[in-house]
């Protein structure tokens, strides 16, 4: 049982937070304002097993922090969470830097030699950023067994080996199969997982089914 | 049996050209200069079943054109091939716009709201550009059965439905399984398949095995 902060009250935060509570963790959901409606609804659903607060409250509470905010707002949300509440901790970054300002499909704010994962790591050098779970629909993040017997791949990257091991442990508890958790290397490898999003969107657009993932075969 | 132009004398052009010859097609390999050494070697290996020439010679010969040039040089190669030799024909674009000028890993010259496939389509509006096969190692392009019983995915996109059907026919002849050929839509969908390359490179870097592909599971 670990104290975990979930930053973000959208469907990703709710899904991750609910799963972590089911697994027996103590979860505090953080949002911009302490009286966020979605956070209140989450609290009512998980009475006695969760708490809510500002991004800073949640970050201070958590031993591990899940960034479930939308990618366009992640850096600001983490600044509000405050470096002093994040330093030394594992930050699991699930976000994609999608820019919807020019309509659909979204563009990526960082590409090629940069990524949101790296931007976060640079902005918070004493935080152990681990990028993962950003390559699929949130329902599958916490329930990979929903499709193909759970036999498909998830990626992990980050600069801190021990932090990645901790996050792999969480992924195993979510139902991911060890051999399918592929460590891509340092945080620069976030580029590839984020730049995969346009293909994800194209596949989704073609198949009309978001409950899919990729399995590496060789 | 079709007259097919293969533009490019690198490993991709050689692999595609060899497979097309094995399938009984007439292949002309095109390169910048008519006396290209690699093209000469290809000709010697496939004596009587192939011919070689400039990009323009090959484009004039082919009823279908395979762009197997490196992505950074594709637009120039196609300009040399000349619009009048390409117009009305199917151009199968296998290239990725990789820019190695800043070292490894390469950057993509076109991202987000653009792609090499679209650049080519815009530069040659009367050519039927079909993007495919750019998401995996060339050995697997023509021999998908080499791994996982051939049960993995390949993408096709382009603006001309009939041209895509013709290209699907070629993919079937290469050994691709019909249900695994996913039509993503128009040529703008080239963005996703090209932007997948950084993830491909990361997976390759992590597994040290380029003979892999992805299978969509749901």
A74-98 residue pLDDT tens = 999 999 999 999 999 999 999 999 9
pTM of the model: 0.97
Binned at pLDDT 50, 70 and 90, residue B117 comes out as very high
Please report, in angstroms and rounded to a whole number, the separation of the first and last CA atoms in chain B: 37
What pLDDT is attached to residue A34?
A: 83
What pLDDT is attached to residue A40?
A: 95
State the smallest CA–CA distance between residue A170 and chain B in angstroms.
Answer: 21
Q: Which of residues 183-202 of A touch B (CB under 8 A)?
A: 183-185, 189, 191-193, 195-202
Q: Does A87 touch chain B (CB under 8 A)?
A: no
Answer whether B196 sits within 8 Å of A191, measured CB to CB. no
Chain A residues within 8 A of B198 when measuring between CB atoms: 112, 191-192, 195
Give DSSP secondary structure letters for A39-58.
Answer: HHHHHHHTTTTEEEEEHHHH
User: Who among A102, A198, A206 is closest to B182 (CB)?
Assistant: A206
Q: Residue B13 above 90 pLDDT?
A: yes
What pLDDT is attached to residue A28?
A: 98
Regarding beta strands A107-108 and A98-99, do their DSSP bridges make them parallel or antiparallel, or are they unpaired?
antiparallel
Across the range A32-47, mean pLDDT stands at 93
Answer whether B184 sits within 8 Å of A202, measured CB to CB. yes
Q: Which of residues 152-181 of A touch B (CB under 8 A)?
A: 152, 155, 157
Binned at pLDDT 50, 70 and 90, residue B47 comes out as confident
Give DSSP secondary structure letters for chain B.
Answer: --EEEEE--SHHHHHHHHHHHHTT-EEEEEESSTT-HHHHHHHHHTTTTEEEEEHHHHHHH-SEEEE-S-GGGHHHHHHHH-HHHHTTSEEEE----EE-TT-SSPEESS-TT--HHHHHHHH-TTSEEEEESTTS-HHHHS-GGGSGGG-S-EEEEES-HHHHHHHHHHHHHHT--GGGEEEEESGGGHHHHHHTHHHHHHHHHHH---S-EEEEE-
State the smallest CA–CA distance between residue B44 and chain A in angstroms.
Answer: 33
Q: How many CB atoms lie within 10 A of CB A102?
A: 10
Find the residue in B nearest to A113 (Cα). B107
Answer whether B108 sits within 8 Å of A111, measured CB to CB. yes
Distance, CA of A201 to CA of A35 (rounded, Å): 33
Across the range A46-67, mean pLDDT stands at 96
Chain B residues within 8 A of A181 when measuring between CB atoms: none
Chain B residues within 8 A of A148 when measuring between CB atoms: 217-218
Q: Between the CA of residue B2 and those of A198, A204, B17, B23, B134, what are the distances in Å?
A: 34, 34, 12, 10, 22
- The domain limits of chain A are 3-207
Distance, CA of B123 to CA of B125 (rounded, Å): 6
Answer whether A202 sits within 8 Å of B189, measured CB to CB. yes
Task: Tell me what percent of the residues of chain A surpass a pLDDT of 90.
Answer: 96
Which CATH architecture does the domain made up of B3-207 adopt?
A: 3-Layer(aba) Sandwich (3.40)
Across the range B43-47, mean pLDDT stands at 93
Number of A/B CB contacts below 8 angstroms equals 125
State the smallest CA–CA distance between residue B53 and chain A in angstroms.
Answer: 36
Across the range B90-114, mean pLDDT stands at 96
ipTM for the complex shown:
0.97
Kindly tell me the number of DSSP H helices and DSSP E strands found in chain A. 10, 11
What pLDDT is attached to residue A35?
A: 85
State the smallest CA–CA distance between residue A90 and chain B in angstroms.
Answer: 22
Mean pLDDT, chain B, whole residue set: 97
Find the residue in B nearest to A184 (Cα). B206
């Amino acid at each position: 049982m670990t104290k975990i902060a979930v930053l973000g009250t959208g469907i990703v935060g709710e899904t991750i937070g609910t799963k972590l509570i089911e697994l027996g963790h103590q979860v505090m959901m953080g949002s911009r304002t302490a009286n966020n409606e979605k956070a209140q609804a989450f609290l009512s659903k998980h009475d006695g097993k969760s708490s809510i607060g500002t991004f800073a409250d949640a970050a201070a509470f958590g031993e591990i922090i899940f960034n479930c905010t939308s990618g366009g707002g992640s850096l600001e949300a983490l600044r509000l969470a405050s470096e002093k509440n994040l330093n030394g901790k594992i930050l699991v970054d699930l976000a994609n830097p999608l820019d919807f300002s020019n309509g659909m499909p979204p563009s990526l704010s960082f590409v090629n030699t940069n990524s949101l994962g790296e931007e976060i790591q640079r902005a918070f050098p004493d935080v152990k950023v681990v990028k993962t779970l950003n390559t699929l629909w949130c329902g599958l993040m916490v329930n990979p067994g929903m499709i193909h017997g759970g036999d498909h791949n998830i990626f992990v990257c980050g600069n801190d080996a021990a932090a990645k091991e901790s996050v792999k442990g969480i992924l195993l508890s979510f139902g991911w199969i060890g051999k399918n958790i592929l460590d891509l290397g340092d945080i620069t490898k976030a580029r590839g997982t984020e730049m995969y999003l346009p293909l994800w969107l194209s596949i989704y657009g073609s198949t009309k089914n978001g409950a899919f993932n990729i399995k590496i075969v060789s």
